[in-house]
Amino acid sequence: MNEGRTVFAQLMDWMPKYEFSKCVKKYRGNYHVRALPCYEQFLVMAFAQLTYRESLRAIAACLEALGHRLYHAGIRSAVAKSTLADANEKRSWKIFADFAHLLIQEAVELYTGEEFGKELNQVAYALDSTTIDLCLSLFPWAKFRKHKAAIKLHTLLDLRCCIPTLVIITSGKVHEVNILDQLACEAGAFYVMDRGYLDFTRLHSIHRQGAFFVTRTKKRFNFQRRYSRSISKRRGVRFDQTIVLKGFYAQQDYPDILRRIGYIDRLTGKKLVFLTNNFAKPALTIALLYKSRWQIELFFKWIKQHLRIKAFYGTSENAVKTQIWIAISVYVLVAIIKKRLHLPHSLYTILQILSVTLFEKTPILQTLSQPNITQKTTDDEKQLYFQDFLTGQ
């Protein structure tokens, strides 16, 4: 690439601008806009995400200091604090939501075929939600409890690449299990959920669609054992049973057989019991597949720490959703670049490098693939690899 261009400009070259323009046109995002069109708004908000700016005032001050370098990065308008606030307030968040889903689709296609585990060749997803607390006096539209406001990010995470394939933003009042009604399941795929999603009517819907689920049982769980399979307790499996539900209404909700697996965690000594409709995979694989659900918890922790989705630049619903969807777009865009450029570093390392090199005039591949960068892997990052779980390491 041209060494005269900034890293930020080269980064945005990977952005499918034609697809973005179609999203803008669909919602008439640039209608009667005199300053800061939607594309430049996206660039400014991406800059704020990548450099960890904390307020609109900080964004405007930093951009003003960059001077003429902004023009070559694609930001042609002067960015005033009020202009950016108005853009986030008035431009439909659906523009950035649709664009994020286009990037997600591209990323998923890139990571298709990625090795996931020695004993599991199907696609596996983790479904969960995270709550972002808000101040009720500033965000009255997101009322959660009497003195509290919050929004929820309901996320379906592809466990092969830790990329969210579905994100639904709701108020804090919406229960997680309701999201199953909006889930179009992929036949043959695994959906891993905690016991907050234990609703047998909805689980049977997943079963009828030809997909598999893995979840935990609750303490009061009425069932009848049909028979037990032989197991080896060396790896932590306690039992492997075929069961049916007891009770008139429970049998109406889920009339088919289920598989109940007991497992004891060797590290914590905690006893866990899982339910699944898959009878083909070994019991240990099912147990450790559920353990991989921790990746979505790490994903939520990671984006809250490294993307600006806890402190918001605006207080309206539109501004909040705009910021969240642009943050997700930046995350997925970096994941796409990592794959296409075959970069050896983690997304965390890449984002840290970008935060201090955005406006240097060096080739982006040279910037992001320095061989002398020491990459320290934390305990959390180690858990992001499912292969470790399946090999029992």
User: What residues have CB less than 8 Å from 252, skipping those under 6 apart?
Assistant: none
Q: At residue 385, does pLDDT exceed 50?
A: no
Last residue of a domain, one of 238, 267, 292: 292
For residues 333 and 250, state if they share a domain: no
Asked whether the beta carbons of 152 and 169 are under 8 A apart, the reply is yes
For residues 285 and 214, state if they share a domain: yes
Q: Is residue 149 part of a domain?
A: no
Q: Is residue 312 part of a domain?
A: no
For residues 278 and 344, state if they share a domain: no
Of 187 and 379, the structure prediction assigns the larger pLDDT to 187
Mean pLDDT of 14-18: 93
Q: What is the pTM of this model?
A: 0.82
Q: At residue 209, does pLDDT exceed 90?
A: yes
Last residue of a domain, one of 246, 273, 292: 292
Q: How many CB atoms lie within 10 A of CB 17?
A: 12
Q: Is residue 77 part of a domain?
A: yes
Q: At residue 4, does pLDDT exceed 80?
A: no
Alpha helices in the chain (DSSP H): 7-12, 17-26, 38-51, 56-66, 69-72, 81-90, 93-111, 200-208, 248-253, 283-291, 294-306, 317-340, 347-357, 364-368, 379-382, 386-390
For residues 225 and 280, state if they share a domain: yes
Q: Is residue 165 part of a domain?
A: no
Confidence of residue 53 (pLDDT cuts 50, 70, 90): confident
Give the mean pLDDT of the chain.
86
Q: What are the structure tokens assigned to 139, written together?
A: 């965000």
Q: For 303-355, what is each residue's pLDDT tens digit?
A: 887 777 777 899 999 999 999 999 999 989 998 999 999 988 888 888 889 98
For residues 12 and 87, state if they share a domain: yes
DSSP tally for the chain: helices H, then strands E:
16, 10
For residues 285 and 331, state if they share a domain: no
Q: For 115-151, what is each residue's pLDDT tens digit?
A: 555 456 778 999 999 998 888 888 999 988 888 899 9
For residues 259 and 337, state if they share a domain: no
For residues 78 and 19, state if they share a domain: yes
Supply the range of the domain harboring residue 265: 195-292
Q: Is residue 232 part of a domain?
A: yes
For residues 201 and 288, state if they share a domain: yes
Q: Is residue 322 part of a domain?
A: no
| Domain count within the chain | 2
Confidence of residue 371 (pLDDT cuts 50, 70, 90): low
Query: How distant, in Å, are the alpha carbons of 233, 250, 283, 285, 392 from that of 228?
Result: 14, 21, 12, 17, 24
Give the dihedral of Cα atoms 302, 304, 308, 313; nearest 10 deg: 170
Rg of the chain (C-alpha set): 23
Asked whether the beta carbons of 191 and 202 are under 8 A apart, the reply is no
Q: Is residue 69 part of a domain?
A: yes
Q: Is residue 34 part of a domain?
A: yes
CA distance 49 to 308: 6
Last residue of a domain, one of 292, 312, 347: 292
What value, to the nearest 5°, has the Cα angle with vertex 172 and ends 171 and 174? Answer: 80
For residues 286 and 332, state if they share a domain: no
The two beta strands, 190-193 and 212-216, are parallel
